Structure 1
Amino acid sequence: MHSTLALTGACLSAALAVASPVDYSSNNTSNGTAVPNFSLPPQNLTSYANNSLFTQWRTKARFRPSSNHIGDPTAFWQDEQGVFHVSGLYSYLRGPNISITSSIGGALTSDFLSYVDFHNYTNQSLFENGVAIGPGNKNDPLAVFDGSVIPKGYKNKVTLIYTGVHYLPISWSKPYIKGSEVQALAYSEDNGATWIKPDIDAVIPSPPEGFNVTGFRDPWVFQSPQFSKLLNDTPETWYLSVSSGIRQVGPRLLLYRQNASDFTSWEFLGPSVSTPVNTTFSAGNFSGNDGSNYETSNTLFLDEEGENLENGVNFVTMGAESGRKTHSFHYSLWKMGKFVRNPLNESVILEDHATGVLDWGLGYACTTMPDYKTNRRLGFCWSNDDFNSTISEQVGYRIGSGGVYSIPRELYYKEIPGVVADDLAAENGYWSVATSHLNTTLAKDGVDMAISEGNDTVTLATLGCKPAREILAFRKHANQTWGESDFNVDVNSIKSNCSNVEFTQKEGVTQAFIPFKQSPHSRQWELQATVEIPSSSLRNEEYEDFAAGFTILHSSASAPANYSVDDAAMLYRPSNETFMITRDVALGSDNVNTDPEMGKLRLWNISSTDAQGKQTYSIQPLNIRAFMDGSFFEVYVNDVLTISTHIYYWYKDSTRMGFYLQFPDTLKNSTLDTGVKFSKVRVWEGVPNVFPKRPTNPKELIDNGVGFVQPPNNPNVPLTYDGVGAPPLPPPENLPYGIDLGTVE
């Protein structure tokens, strides 16, 4: 609980409002039958009835199932009509193990503004009707894991190559059971709505001989003129990578080559990416950690516009397991460099010039697909829920669903010209140096080369990541939009220049919240803004705890003083080059994860020439686009840093937004420059309902099915579920559990 002190006249009345007595009575039922009251402080989430929190944090403009659990994005592709097939691992909440006993289900979209579930023949949009393939055959007796699509493959049909699961558990932290994972093939005769499994063996039945693997899954199929040249193959050749690792040695990406015209046989060439256990490319933690096992890897060839198979810079994205203490030990990584012929085998190997983090928050299992019409490469990342781990499974029944995907992201090769060629630019990190068009080298080598040639600047190269251009159309669905005036503030003037600032004191640090002139009424909005911070604050210990940004949700100023509050902010802390999302919500850490999300971001010193021909220097600003949709929050900064997370607000009126400045007591009355400039601030409130054909009544969306999900017209052998381990179904009379579930907001 935080007390708020209003230190100026405009805030005084709110801060001195008399608190009314707290009535917990209607929130005090036990045994999982309580009805939530969002005007009163929350209880432990397990005390509430099943599905009673179904609408509380639900997204409106993100890909997600109508109910139950969505996992990894997978089997994405674009058909000949230009329609995108977006799908993922889907499972009932009530089964032997959620997100493990999975099928693949999805929806269709042409613009990411409107999706239609597969098999939507009767306008019934329960997501189980969108299931395209389930487990149960000889190649996938327990589960279906990730796969990727060949538009014209087996029998010249659209073809899915995926991982079939035989044994569980599978984990980088446990001995691998031989035969646990195989790579299997299925094809479709209805444009991917349903996958047929031919009566053939697994197309890759086991890891390479002698490999003591940590995992063997998530096949990624692709064509590459660059690989074909290196390996003396025909341009039509298909390649396939399997994400893996060698126990106590390090993660590996295993490369295969098409060995049969019908895609039923693949030849192992060797690892295309190979790193030691827990490799950290950057000494400053700008690159995450490779861990011990890769998952969901994509091999990409990109230029400034997106996909360029012939000449694009070489990238690999991957999930990395075990190298992180938080986030289920997961990092979402990418690598940039150059594939060269491996002299030790018949494979190619990536020379790593840079390694970065694709999503510093909950975003994981990221996958991509091409947009053939525009030569873009579009990516999605999955975020699981983020409740306290001791109650997360039980809370799943209270919210009736789990998992959500990010908005589509454009991935591309990005250059940053004019960066001063100094020691900072020469460090290993999420950047390399461009030596010529679409050619890069290690940062240190590039900086040394520039200096030897008499240049004092370099062009840095990295992976660009930004919201897909289609997302701009979200703004057309806004029910209101407004801009905030440009705003300058510093530590010493904030009290005299800001008429309604609210201050919070925490252990020698002041947090200042300056409310916007207006705030949204919902948690569905986009914010765009630019923030400039003093150059002297970067990597300077005297500025420890100094930070600036935006409050993204804050409880009402009239809330009783003895209530816990919802308070979340996004901010940049220049002393350690960290962009943060704080999550101090009323639910507290007993219910949800309240740890801040943090990502490393370097603001470069850019050299330019003014109109008089004089060389000038300036620090990059923070160019921010942030999206709130229910509890799900995504922020994109300078097209190089992305963080996605959940912010589980409780109160209905926790919607206030504003400017944010944080400073330690040591900076009060200091002569150090603390000036921050906010500009181009604009908010759009309101987002489209991207599943317009789904029912709006939650009772029609909630599905309490048990076991394994199969396609509605399953062409394959279904798996029989015996009910072992499933929690009991809630009684029908408990729907809608005594609260108004009239619409999904």
Structure 2
Amino acid sequence: MDSSTETVCSSVAHRRVRPTIHITDSCWINDPCAPGFDPKSGDYHLFYQCNPHGCEWGNMSWGHVTSRDLVQWSKVRSEPALKPDMDYDKDGVFTGCFVPVVGDDENLTVVYSSVRKLPFHWSTPPYPRNAAGISIATSSDGGVSWKKLPNNPVLQGEPKDVQVTGFRDPYIALWPALDNLRGAKESCFYTLVSGGFESCGPTTFLYAISKSDVGSWEYLGPLVDLPARFSPSNSPEVNFGLNWECTNFMSFEESGNVRHFLIIGAEGDVERSHLRDGSLKRTVRQQLWMCGDLDNHDDGIRMNYKYGGILDHGSYYAANSFHDPRSGKRIVHGWIPEEDCTSEFATGKGWNGSLALPREVFLLSIPGASRALRTPLSDLADVEASRNENGLYDLLTLGVKPLEDLKTIRESSSHVTNLNDISFYSGSNSETIATIATPAWELESAIRLPEDCKSFALAVRRKDTQKILFEIVFSPENETITIHRRHSDPSGPFNDCPEIGSFTLFEIKDPQTSELKFEELRLRVFSDGDILEVFANDRFALATMVYREFEGEEFEIVPSMVGSTGEAVLSAFSLWDGIASTKSFVTC
């Protein structure tokens, strides 16, 4: 490190406020790995890729935290749980999964990508044969220590006679729908290993594993056939890329409807238009999902694409999930990278990357819809619309929202603001509705908008200078939610391009009055140091970074509306300021 870098590092470090409700570490971290539950101890386990030696990518190992409630986390050991110390994983312990505990098994088991040969990347073919295998580690002491199996790797690498773009990130779970399709006499585990076929397109490789022997894998074939760079014709912002990572499968049932989903990290070379002019370039990738039908083909089982969309419209990536046997919910963890700052800045503040707050994904049912704001229901790429007996439409899509138990972090907030039925008008002076005095807070609001509204915004600005830090803008005209970021830290440069995601409201029949009216816009926002996570109506999520200094200044929240002669009503608004005092995660 030269003297100029040291100066940047020292000047940055003293101004930084570490995240307090997000998991991070004093180093580089990326993909969440092996989320799972130990029924014997009652502990939730979560690992993450990390470089224990610095704030840049390298030396891929696994950090390890545990929790009793998925909210408060503690680190198990200062040393990595798994590190690259064998010949078959000498170039990295990459992403993996937690094997669900079944029966009376006393051991915990994780499965990971054991990398023996770097570099490799889908964009620089050919992929080196058997560069990454699949290996297993077990723990007999509740996860305190882990031993790699002596017969690792259980898979040397990708299937024979195919040229792949990647082969990594195993995901293992039970999948009763696949048991039924195969006519299996006994249930088994199924595994997805993500990647793609060179010159063909992305996919995920499907395996069957005996529950009594997780080291014995039967290859069933590729699960998905999609062309390279597949993009639904009615949703050009969605691109399923050229290589997949961290693919998870799941099935949901709601009101008699059963649907099968994949959550996908898609790598590609087509960047979303609003990100192309950023001052710092991001890795081109998207966190996606797809819904499909399972079917038997002559050459194996396939999931046929029906519809899909974006799981998170920001920088969030590498989603990894598990079925929580306590709640029956599907819990998803993800990574929030820091590609919008320089590596020198990240080194200076002392950490690089964090894990997003845990989320619930589910099959969201919206009955009795007549229309969206602008787009015909039949043209929405991420919604399944079925006409019902009343001539309206019942909608299905993948729902996403913060973990319900995250509401417990509100209990120790230093200040709470609650407001109801606040009216405001287009062109009127912007008035402050709440003041923020700490770096960590949560906001929940519901807004009723007039139909001719062109845009609605919640701005967070400095109280002393009125300078806006960021704005959350909903545009009914464009059917988008945009985060305008104005980084306030002088230690840049930072990428200040906006974050934009598609989002619309639906006109729905009120079950009590039979009146057709549009939904309220329901926002939930978490701000934790530089991390910002925004959720809307249980079907929109966006995580990003907004870099700023904290030296005791206060901020204000200001709503505004453009382009309507009617009134907008903030029907409910709550702010919990100072949620950092919960100490939900003791950083490493």
Q: What TM-score do the two structures reach when normalised by structure 2?
A: 0.91
Q: Map Cα deviations across residues 517-540 of structure 1 (whole Å, 9 max, x no partner).
A: x40111211111112223235xxx
1:209-358 alignment runs, 5 A limit? 209-258=160-209, 261-285=212-236, 288-304=238-254, 312-322=258-268, 323-325=270-272, 326=275, 327-341=282-296, 343-346=297-300, 348-358=301-311
- When structure 1 is superposed on structure 2, of 245-254 and 482-491 the one drifting more is 482-491
Aligned partner (choices 18, 33, 46) of residue 74 of structure 1: 33
Aligned partner (choices 497, 504, 523) of residue 602 of structure 1: 504
Counterpart for residue 423 of structure 2:
488
Q: What TM-score do the two structures reach when normalised by structure 1?
A: 0.72
Q: Map Cα deviations across residues 361-401 of structure 1 (whole Å, 9 max, x no partner).
A: 1111011122211211111111011434xxx2222220111
Question: Does 2:314 align with 1:361?
Answer: yes
Cα distance in 2 for residues equivalent to 1:661 and 1:227 = 50
Counterpart for residue 652 of structure 1:
551
Aligned partner (choices 389, 392, 409) of residue 359 of structure 2: 409
SS at structure 2 position matched to 1:385: coil
Q: Percent identity?
A: 24
Cα pair distance change 1:566/1:398, threshold 3 Å: farther
How many residues of Structure 1 are paired with residues of Structure 2 in the alignment?
Answer: 573
Cα pair distance change 1:270/1:85, threshold 3 Å: same
Indicate if the aligned counterparts of 1:515 and 1:659 stay in contact, CA closer than 8 A.
yes
Aligned partner (choices 121, 127, 140) of residue 189 of structure 1: 140
Which amino acid in the other structure matches residue 524 of structure 1?
A: A
Which amino acid in the other structure matches residue 85 of structure 2?
A: G
Cα distance in 2 for residues equivalent to 1:215 and 1:100 = 18
Cα distance in 1 for residues equivalent to 2:298 and 2:14 = 55
1:426-465 alignment runs, 5 A limit? 426-433=378-385, 446-447=386-387, 450=388, 455-465=390-400
Cα distance in 1 for residues equivalent to 2:416 and 2:581 = 18
Cα distance in 2 for residues equivalent to 1:155 and 1:199 = 19
Cα distance in 2 for residues equivalent to 1:651 and 1:261 = 53
Aligned partner (choices 530, 545, 549) of residue 631 of structure 1: 530
5+ long unaligned stretches in structure 1:
1-28, 35-46, 120-127, 434-445, 502-513, 538-545, 560-564, 696-700, 702-745
Counterpart for residue 449 of structure 2:
533
Cα pair distance change 1:178/1:100, threshold 3 Å: farther
Aligned partner (choices 555, 571, 579) of residue 473 of structure 2: 571
Cα pair distance change 1:524/1:260, threshold 3 Å: closer
1:15-164 alignment runs, 5 A limit? 31-34=4-7, 47-49=8-10, 52-53=12-13, 56-65=16-25, 67-80=26-39, 81-94=41-54, 98-119=56-77, 128-129=78-79, 131-152=80-101, 157-164=107-114
Counterpart for residue 735 of structure 1:
none
> Following TM superposition, by how much is the alpha carbon of 1:662 offset from its aligned partner in structure 2, in angstroms?
5.7
Counterpart for residue 335 of structure 2:
382
> Following TM superposition, by how much is the alpha carbon of 1:607 offset from its aligned partner in structure 2, in angstroms?
2.8
Counterpart for residue 708 of structure 1:
none
Q: Which gives a bigger RCO, structure 1 or 2 (Cα 8 Å, sep 6+)?
A: 1
> Following TM superposition, by how much is the alpha carbon of 1:317 offset from its aligned partner in structure 2, in angstroms?
0.3
Cα pair distance change 1:136/1:226, threshold 3 Å: same
Cα distance in 2 for residues equivalent to 1:84 and 1:632 = 24
Q: Map Cα deviations across residues 126-169 of structure 1 (whole Å, 9 max, x no partner).
A: xx33x211112132111000111224589863221110111222
Which amino acid in the other structure matches residue 659 of structure 1?
A: V
Cα pair distance change 1:281/1:295, threshold 3 Å: same
Cα distance in 1 for residues equivalent to 2:147 and 2:3 = 48
Indicate if the aligned counterparts of 1:361 and 1:643 stay in contact, CA closer than 8 A.
yes
Cα distance in 1 for residues equivalent to 2:380 and 2:398 = 14
Indicate if the aligned counterparts of 1:566 and 1:649 stay in contact, CA closer than 8 A.
no
Counterpart for residue 583 of structure 1:
485
Which amino acid in the other structure matches residue 586 of structure 1?
A: S
Q: Map Cα deviations across residues 498-554 of structure 1 (whole Å, 9 max, x no partner).
A: 4xx3xxxxxxxxxxxx322x40111211111112223235xxxxxxxx4212113x1
> Following TM superposition, by how much is the alpha carbon of 1:266 offset from its aligned partner in structure 2, in angstroms?
1.1
Cα distance in 1 for residues equivalent to 2:582 and 2:199 = 45
Cα distance in 1 for residues equivalent to 2:210 and 2:404 = 38
Cα distance in 2 for residues equivalent to 1:688 and 1:62 = 10
> Following TM superposition, by how much is the alpha carbon of 1:100 offset from its aligned partner in structure 2, in angstroms?
3.6
SS at structure 2 position matched to 1:49: helix
Counterpart for residue 177 of structure 1:
128
Indicate if the aligned counterparts of 1:113 and 1:688 stay in contact, CA closer than 8 A.
no
Cα distance in 2 for residues equivalent to 1:609 and 1:196 = 57
5+ long unaligned stretches in structure 2:
276-281
Cα distance in 1 for residues equivalent to 2:335 and 2:538 = 19
Aligned partner (choices 522, 532, 557) of residue 464 of structure 2: 557
> Following TM superposition, by how much is the alpha carbon of 1:658 offset from its aligned partner in structure 2, in angstroms?
2.3
Indicate if the aligned counterparts of 2:21 and 2:584 stay in contact, CA closer than 8 A.
no
Cα pair distance change 1:324/1:184, threshold 3 Å: same
Cα distance in 1 for residues equivalent to 2:556 and 2:185 = 57
Cα distance in 2 for residues equivalent to 1:691 and 1:484 = 27
Which amino acid in the other structure matches residue 314 of structure 1?
A: H
1:697-736 alignment runs, 5 A limit? none
Which amino acid in the other structure matches residue 295 of structure 2?
A: V
Counterpart for residue 721 of structure 1:
none
Cα pair distance change 1:116/1:601, threshold 3 Å: same
Question: Does 2:437 align with 1:521?
Answer: yes
Which amino acid in the other structure matches residue 429 of structure 1?
A: A
> Following TM superposition, by how much is the alpha carbon of 1:654 offset from its aligned partner in structure 2, in angstroms?
5.2
Cα pair distance change 1:430/1:144, threshold 3 Å: same
Cα distance in 1 for residues equivalent to 2:201 and 2:59 = 27
Which amino acid in the other structure matches residue 456 of structure 1?
A: G
> Following TM superposition, by how much is the alpha carbon of 1:101 offset from its aligned partner in structure 2, in angstroms?
2.0
Indicate if the aligned counterparts of 1:528 and 1:682 stay in contact, CA closer than 8 A.
yes
Indicate if the aligned counterparts of 1:523 and 1:655 stay in contact, CA closer than 8 A.
no
Cα distance in 2 for residues equivalent to 1:677 and 1:152 = 49
In angstroms, what is the RMSD of aligned CA positions? Answer: 2.7
SS at structure 2 position matched to 1:139: helix
SS at structure 2 position matched to 1:104: strand
Cα distance in 1 for residues equivalent to 2:3 and 2:462 = 27
Indicate if the aligned counterparts of 2:333 and 2:357 stay in contact, CA closer than 8 A.
yes
SS at structure 2 position matched to 1:535: coil
Cα distance in 1 for residues equivalent to 2:501 and 2:186 = 40
Cα pair distance change 1:296/1:678, threshold 3 Å: same
Higher strand share: 2
Counterpart for residue 681 of structure 1:
573
Cα distance in 2 for residues equivalent to 1:187 and 1:72 = 20
Indicate if the aligned counterparts of 1:525 and 1:685 stay in contact, CA closer than 8 A.
yes
Cα pair distance change 1:245/1:658, threshold 3 Å: same
Indicate if the aligned counterparts of 2:15 and 2:551 stay in contact, CA closer than 8 A.
no
> Following TM superposition, by how much is the alpha carbon of 1:55 offset from its aligned partner in structure 2, in angstroms?
5.9
> Following TM superposition, by how much is the alpha carbon of 1:83 offset from its aligned partner in structure 2, in angstroms?
1.2
Aligned partner (choices 466, 473, 485) of residue 408 of structure 2: 473
Cα distance in 1 for residues equivalent to 2:440 and 2:574 = 14
Which amino acid in the other structure matches residue 427 of structure 1?
A: D
Cα distance in 1 for residues equivalent to 2:211 and 2:565 = 66
Cα distance in 1 for residues equivalent to 2:356 and 2:532 = 9
- When structure 1 is superposed on structure 2, of 600-609 and 576-585 the one drifting more is 600-609
Cα distance in 2 for residues equivalent to 1:644 and 1:369 = 20
SS at structure 1 position matched to 2:89: coil
Which amino acid in the other structure matches residue 432 of structure 2?
A: P
